[in-house]
Chain A
Amino acid sequence: EIVLTQSPGTLSLSPGERATLSCRASQSVRGTSFAWYQQKPGRAPRLLIYDASSRATGIPDRFSASGSGTDFTLTITRLEPEDFAVYYCQQYGSSPAYSFGQGTKLEMK
């Protein structure tokens, strides 16, 4: 089973700043089988990024992602107030034995 470790656990930033979230896999993820999700309190997670770097439908272009192998990054340029939430990474290379990271909380400074 692939274990995903996200860092940092909490990120404190102000609106307008740039956020960089990381996710490291315990072993190489097959291809670009990697996704990022945003979750707000009381809501189901929302798909942001799939295939490591493709934005899902309706996701603003201030969200971008990259990575391959064991290291993946989600970047949010120019933070908006609605971006403060918890973010999860997910690998789906070893289908259907998927796994999630433990989450990064993006909080407003």
Chain B
Amino acid sequence: EVQLVQSGAELKKPGESLKISCKASGYNFITYWIGWVRQMPGKGLEWMGAVQPGNSDTRYSPSFQGQVTISADRSISTAYLQWNSLRASDTGIYYCVRFQIAVGWLKYWGQGSLVTVSS
């Protein structure tokens, strides 16, 4: 059974750094891309970017380029989403998703990680 299990809720202050995780199981981790989707409070879904764990190829949506870092550690089947300096506007739920580059529908989602940035 394919599972994406994300790290828990985080409460951080503006300017702090953060790295959240998405641990995959039930399939060969390097054969699928892992993407990240943001959902701000009461708002819609936003595509942030994705990583191919097999070769670490990473692509970012223009809106998120330079704002976050997406990475993966194939040795532990885990993908990451990282911020160097959080802002209040980073508050939201972050989902990881699994997909194939040629067939980009998103059947498998993590449960979501709530990130709250507040002073």
Q: Nearest CB to that of A50 among chain B residues?
A: B105
Question: Assuming the A-B contacts A35-B106, A45-B45, A47-B105, are A96 and B33 also in contact, with contact meaning beta carbons closer than 8 angstroms in the complex?
Answer: yes
Determine how close the nearest CB of chain A comes to the CB of B66; give it in whole angstroms.
15
What total of chain A residues lie within 8 Å of the partner, measured CB to CB?
24
Q: Tell whether A33 pairs with B104 under 8 Å between CB atoms, given A44-B110, A44-B112, A96-B50.
A: yes
Whether A45 contacts B109 by the Cβ 8 Å rule is yes
Distance (Å) between the CB of A44 and the closest chain B CB? Answer: 4
Q: Scoring B residues 30 to 60 as 1 if CB is less than 8 Å from chain A, else 0, what string do you get?
A: 0001010100000011110110000000010
Q: What DSSP secondary structure best describes chain B's contact surface?
A: strand
When distances are taken between beta carbons in the complex, the residues of chain A under 8 Å from B106 are 35, 37, 45, 47, 90
Contact B62 A1, beta carbon cutoff 8 Å: yes
**Could you jot down 24 A-B contacts, CB within 8 Å?**
A1-B61, A35-B104, A35-B105, A37-B45, A37-B106, A44-B112, A45-B95, A45-B109, A47-B107, A56-B107, A92-B103, A92-B104, A96-B35, A96-B49, A97-B61, A98-B35, A98-B47, A99-B47, A100-B37, A100-B44, A100-B46, A100-B47, A102-B44, A103-B45
